[in-house]
Chain A
Amino acid sequence: MANKKYKLLIAEDEISILEPYAEYFKMEGFEVETATDGAMALEKAKSFDFDLMLLDIMMPKMDGLEVLKAMKADPKLKDKKVYLLTALGRDSVIKEGFELGAGGYLIKDQENPETVKKNVLKALEE
């Protein structure tokens, strides 16, 4: 159970996945902001002082890796915690994700909201 009200930014273009996740985290006491494409994700990242970001990779306008790149180049954002939550499983993509500073990589169809929450809390309490 979260004692502190953590701020979570979720970037996911598939609304049918975004909404249940957003609702669940709100239920679990998080403050949640959402974005449905890469450009929006980057914008919200700048304006919303989040504790952790769940970032999808395949998104319109800018993909997740490009968002990560942009964040890494921004001194205010480069140390923020970002977990990739995606359907893509290629080694090269995973590698790139970590190289760009992602803290974790979760495969969408292997996770459910609860397991994601556990990973998120673990990352936040590190």
Chain B
Amino acid sequence: MSKSKPPHLNINTIRKIENILLESLEFDEVVKKVVDSILTELGYLDLGYRIVVLTLVDKKKQVLKRISLSETKEARATLSTSEKNFHSIEIPLTYKKNASVMAINSKKPILVHDFKYILCPGVSEENALEIQQSADIKTSVVYPIKVKNKVIGTMIYSMVKYVNKLAVKEGEILSYFTDLIGIAVQNSLLYSDLQTRSKQLKKANKKLKDIDQRKDEFISIASHELKTPLAIVNTNLWMLSHISKNLDEKQKKFMHEMGSGLRRMTRVVNNLLDISRIEQDRFVLSNSEIDLVSLIQTTVSEFKPLVSSKGLNLSFDKPNFPIKVIVDKDRIDEVLGNFLSNANKYTEKGGIKVTVKERATTHSVRVAIADTGPGISRKDYDKIFTKFGRAGEGLKRSAVGASTGLGLYISKRIIEEMGGKVGFTSRLGVGSVFWFELPVVAKKQKTDSSFPRPIQINPTKEKIEAIKQEIKQKAK
């Protein structure tokens, strides 16, 4: 090996140092690299340096701990001579006679010749001398590791040459190197902190998923257990009413009240089961880019058989161009289905028309479903879109204790969750237009989108019929 010149602190050296130190993030890798690389990669071995030690401050214990040691013959010699294990040598920060403590307090490098300033009070003065001799160390320099003006530890560079002052270039590089060590160590500490938190979050997340699943199962069971006795009472009460002839007015009244109470109970149970899913923010949106026009077209086609079977018209004013939006496809499908279902339920003649328009000024899209139903009277306006709103006692009901009217409420929640709006206009005797407006890019949610979708408790007859038709079409 040729006699090397002291390395220059030029751009190449800097790059080299940076590459070495800032490459890894794993703490164990970093601390090992920092003590070896100055000797092996930057040629300090040739300059007489033999041992490099990294120490870090333990704030809790207020001591300086030894973290890593270079892999050199001399370093190994010190290990075997030392009366104490390397990692168990701790220097109290109050011990001002230690060179590292001095470096920390003054924030400047310290040069010493005697190893007692390096190792005491970690080992006895006699042992310190023995250790020094075993490695033939003549001089040691201690550099404070600074990060943003705080000192987090020291680097101890020990050499077999005797000097009273370091050559300028030699010192400069060591200084720069030590500063980078601060950044590298800091980074790796942050990184392992990040990893720990990530693990904790994953664990918490799994727990929540488990709870969510158990809640689903519970609601499923509760749903069945609550509905069965309701069905029992309903059926038997109905039979009693059916076979009872010649009931007097009082008896009829009592029977009637029982029926009302039962219907009310059924409604409440159904609402609770539905709401318990919705209200607990189980709403999770997973957005993707879709063509709204083709989504509407698909849904309209699915509803055609159902609407036609009632003798009604269903049309979609389809634009010739796609309208791309970023939304949760399944949810929009659900909302559209709710609106169509609603329109179909309340319309007896004429038909339903669906339109979609872009509103450039507000960067939103409005989808409107117009029907030729009986319209909604003013007094019912504030019931629409609410949890318990079913407008008009005059409107026909499809069955005893039928659907709860939550479809519109659920739709409103979905659309609002996406940052949109819902609304309607109506004229008695003419019909109604229900619409929803979406921003072209639906609001992103803060929660994780891998939660399972809420389970549905009460499909309406329309929904069942729609599914039946869908399956039938598939089978054809």
| Chain A residues proximal to chain B, CB less than 8 Å | 14, 16-17, 20-21, 23-24, 58, 87-91, 94-95, 98-99, 104-105, 107-115
Contacts and interface: CB of A to CB of B under 8 A. Distances in A.
B1 interface: no
A111 B235 CA distance: 8
B467 A89 contact: no
Interface of B: 220, 223-224, 227-228, 230-232, 234-236, 238-239, 242, 266, 399-403, 455-459, 461, 463-464, 467-468, 471-472
A87 B228 contact: yes
A107 B463 CA distance: 12
A110 B239 contact: no
Contacts of B232: 14, 16-17
B224 A88 contact: yes
Contacts of B223: 87, 89
B227 A115 contact: no
A17 B231 contact: yes
Contact of A111 (B399, B458, B468): B399
15 contacts: A14-B231, A14-B232, A16-B236, A21-B235, A87-B227, A88-B224, A89-B458, A90-B456, A91-B467, A94-B463, A95-B467, A109-B230, A109-B401, A112-B238, A113-B242
A16 B234 CA distance: 11
Given A14-B231, A16-B232, A113-B238, A95 B455 contact: no
B445 to A, nearest CB: 23
Contact of B471 (A24, A99, A107): A99
Chain B CB count within 10 A is highest, among A17, A89, A91, A113, for A89
Contacts of B403: 110
A110 B458 CA distance: 10
Given A20-B235, A90-B455, A111 B400 contact: yes
B456 A89 contact: yes
Contacts, number: 83
Q: In terms of DSSP, what is the predominant structure of the interface of chain B? A: helix
Among A24, A109, A110, which residue has the most Cβ atoms of chain B within 10 A?
A109
Given A98-B471, A110-B402, A24 B239 contact: yes
Nearest to A99: B471
Nearest to B467: A94
A126 B400 CA distance: 24
A71 B320 CA distance: 48
A16 B468 CA distance: 29
Contacts of A21: 235
Contacts of A94: 459, 463-464, 467
A102 to B, nearest CB: 8
B395 to A, nearest CB: 17
Nearest to B274: A89
A21 B230 CA distance: 15
Contacts of A112: 234-235, 238, 400
A51 B71 CA distance: 89
A23 B239 contact: yes
The 6 nearest A-B residue pairs measured at CB: A98-B471, A87-B227, A108-B231, A20-B239, A112-B238, A16-B232
Contact of A110 (B399, B455, B463, B472): B399
A109 B468 contact: no
Given A90-B456, A98-B468, A14 B228 contact: yes
Contacts of A88: 224
